[in-house]
Structure 1
């Protein structure tokens, strides 16, 4: 009998390889399909850092929060990751995940895992009114050789970039270009799918990059499974641009109005 054909991974999973290299150590590599301007897209880095923690056999719970500091530019050299359980409790665990290239730390995350239990539950945040479903919106082609080509997007609202707009609020339906089912690493990546908000306030194309990004994972595993490979609504807006830095905050919603994640970023611009 012939051996069964190997199951082909989705592109997103192929782009996040982890090979054991010792206790709490992993080897990895860059995937240029998820490139952004002159280096890897920050969402890819966040997803890889989170995946390394979830690959540790003694982790407990599911992601509830992570903060990623992007400390240096990456090139195509080999990567290594190290993880460390800072504190493991019955309800909450705190881990660090560090990405190293050319013997220098280039990114680091603090990952918080929690044991999700049945408790009081309600939404105070509201799904935006009047959102057109993705099937009624024409898709936006992704730029070849750029991470946006790995996602399918449908613009809901917001002005075009580089137009000196009055605000930076945008809403966009987005999903993996292969409709890969949503999980926590992909949700971490989607939390950085927004274009830098400076592009929506300044008509000049300026260099910009994320310095620090926090993601709060509200979705339960069952809610992620319910989304599957469907679109999620990505909303983002800035609050202030000043002295070479700006913030941007975002939210990711399921089609049926479940708040999946929220995010805060601090970005540098020139």
Structure 2
């Protein structure tokens, strides 16, 4: 698949004269009830990168979903806070019809050499290579954004299979393909269904309230897709659910981790 350029270009992300940004999320990027949460997170991160006065890579993002957005046009605004010489933090808000619907605090940090050797404490699971795994399609009539994900499950269980384990592991690429960077990692971190879905046999609404993303690999050398994504439900109860997601490249390098806090509405 041919790369389509910088992440925000896919969503017509442009700066306005008022210092704000404008983007459009079309209906093909709709999730269960509104715009795909990872896609909105990716746009917030991309705006932070574009708005920053420092060309530092993204290290982390904390995203909060504040309302019930619809697909269509969004206005975004960023406020920058410099922290010393190596760190910049940007607060970004996305709004529709003048009301905020999502916000993020995005941390950008300068790369520097240290005496501490690189270390990754979360090894990739041993699974079959992506070409040896069969395709799995999220039903586009229910979740249109599923058409943008090329998913090849690499291990059992599958969603809605009534399994005993709340975990999914799959090779995932984006269609159309996008550069593998912090914004697209946010999309990939939210590509699989909610972590408790393997326990179920019928879907329920489990919307994301917060999503945190941490980039572990050198942000300038993230490689290509497909990536191996493992989503695990940490806990569910009292109407709330917490998922952890890990993303590795094809060589087993840990690229990013994410945690989502969700409401269980079923």
**Aligned partner (choices 116, 121, 127) of residue 124 of structure 1:** 121
**Aligned partner (choices 241, 249, 253) of residue 246 of structure 1:** 241
| Distance in 1 of aligned mates of 2:45 and 2:7 | 14
Shift of 1:77: 4.8
| Distance in 2 of aligned mates of 1:259 and 1:128 | 11
| Distance in 1 of aligned mates of 2:47 and 2:38 | 14
Quick check: 1:15–1:31 contact (8 Å CA) kept in 2? Answer: no
Match of 1:210 in 2: 208
What is the TM-score with the length of structure 2 in the denominator? 0.90
Quick check: 1:24–1:84 contact (8 Å CA) kept in 2? Answer: no
Match of 1:236 in 2: 231
Please give the residue correspondences for 1:1-270 in structure 2 after superposition, counting only pairs within 5 Å.
Answer: 9=4, 13-56=8-51, 58-119=53-114, 120=116, 121-129=118-126, 131-144=127-140, 146-224=144-222, 227-228=223-224, 230-270=225-265
| Distance in 1 of aligned mates of 2:23 and 2:179 | 23
Shift of 1:218: 0.9
Change in CA separation of 1:219 and 1:268 when aligned onto 2, cut-off 3 Å:
same
The answer for unaligned runs of 5 or more in structure 2 is none
| Distance in 1 of aligned mates of 2:195 and 2:241 | 8
| Distance in 1 of aligned mates of 2:73 and 2:220 | 35
| Distance in 1 of aligned mates of 2:181 and 2:72 | 28
| Distance in 1 of aligned mates of 2:202 and 2:137 | 23
Quick check: 1:60–1:93 contact (8 Å CA) kept in 2? Answer: no
| Distance in 2 of aligned mates of 1:14 and 1:203 | 38
The answer for unaligned runs of 5 or more in structure 1 is 1-6
Quick check: 1:98–1:105 contact (8 Å CA) kept in 2? Answer: yes
Shift of 1:14: 4.3
What is the TM-score with the length of structure 1 in the denominator? 0.89
Aligned alpha-carbon RMSD (Å): 2.1
Shift of 1:20: 1.7
Shift of 1:161: 2.2
* Larger mean Cα displacement after TM superposition, 30-39 or 70-79: 70-79
Match of 1:4 in 2: none
Shift of 1:268: 0.5
